[in-house]
């Protein structure tokens, strides 16, 4: 039995590159009024492998190989930008992604306040 470790790691790494992005977890960036909202994720991954070969007994030789990988992806918040201003809206550990959506009314309120100020100055 032959283990092609480099080939295996390349395939696993390519898969992780494809899957470990914000679009597969929480979606693409989007526009909310004058704000551009970009989802932010945290990615963790690990690899492991092992093998053993036994001595020949009765004309037979035992061997075994194994490999594995794991990946965790967690949404942690959103970047909100307007012009050259940038803010981070944290998703929060306790509520996950729902906490970020709970803060959306604040973002909308800031948009309304900004528009009201602009209307008053013109």
Contact partners, residue 97, CB within 8 Å, separation at least 6: 26, 75, 91
Tokens at 89, concatenated: 């809206």
Q: What pLDDT is stored for residue 122 in this prediction?
A: 62
Show contacts of 79-86: CB within 8 Å, 24+ apart: 79/37, 79/38, 79/40, 80/32, 80/35, 80/36, 80/37, 80/38, 80/107, 81/35, 81/36, 81/38, 82/34, 82/35, 82/36, 82/114, 83/34
- The whole-number average pLDDT for the span 73-95 is 80
Higher pLDDT, 42 or 102: 42
Q: What pLDDT is stored for residue 96 in this prediction?
A: 54
Q: Is the pTM of this model over 0.75?
A: no
**25-70 residue pLDDT tens:** 666 788 888 888 888 888 888 878 788 888 777 777 788 877 777 8
């Amino acid at each position: 039995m032959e283990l092609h470790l480099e080939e295996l790691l390349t395939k696993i790494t390519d898969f992780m590159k494809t899957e470990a992005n914000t679009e597969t977890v929480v979606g693409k960036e989007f526009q909310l009024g004058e704000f551009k909202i970009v989802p932010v994720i945290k990615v963790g991954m690990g690899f492991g492998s092992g093998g053993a070969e036994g001595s020949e007994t009765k004309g037979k030789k035992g061997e075994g190989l194994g490999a594995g990988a794991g990946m965790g992806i967690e949404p942690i918040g959103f970047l909100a930008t307007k012009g050259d201003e940038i803010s981070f809206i944290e998703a929060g550990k306790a509520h996950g992604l729902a906490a970020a959506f709970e803060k959306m009314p604040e973002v909308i309120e800031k948009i309304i306040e900004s528009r009201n100020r602009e209307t008053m100055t013109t």
